[in-house]
Amino acid sequence: MNLIQLSKKIIKYAKKLNSINLSSFRSGNISVRAKKKGINGFLITPSGVRYSSLKTKDIVFVSLKGKFDSKKKVIPSSEWRIHQNIYVNKSAAKAIVHAHSTCATAVSTHNKSIPAFHYMVGVAGGEDIKCAKYATFGTRNLSKNILSALKNRCACLISNHGQIAFGKNLDSAFELAQEVENICHQYINAIRIGIPKILSKKEMKIVLGKMKNYKKG
């Protein structure tokens, strides 16, 4: 896809963030790995613009070195450093979805990993879903904390903030963010009843092995 096509796809999914209540109004952000004039980087949603009014010219290109056109009327999302850090350190990341989804955000306020109460926590890549330590939004500290929580993972919660997921393309990254939100919803309901049974590390190792071929074909 060229940059215009990628921008259109970003806008499509940014609007979907709103339409399925994964993030409201201007919250959250979406990016796709891209190259512009031979420079490696990514396209990302802008800061402070309602997704319902987004146009392709509003999508911002940021190089992997963190450079972008400051003369544009719009600037990249305040969380662009998170995306930059993930793209630089995770070659498997081709697209990123960061959302302030209701259940994931609620669970994140407890600053704890989601244990293997359900085998589907494995979709994030490990035996649990980690929660990145809190830091002020838009800072390098938050970016570092998220990268740490994403060790051997492709999704995590962000303490007192929300969630983030990456994938081989925007479709898979968005679907993973939806999966994380659903898992958080189930977890909230599970702990309302009492303390849920947690699957063993041995069982989760089996699950993760089977998940290598999950959703293929």
Active site residues: 79
209: nearest Cα among 90, 89, 119: 119
| Spatial contact of 79 and 146, defined as CB atoms under 8 Å apart | no
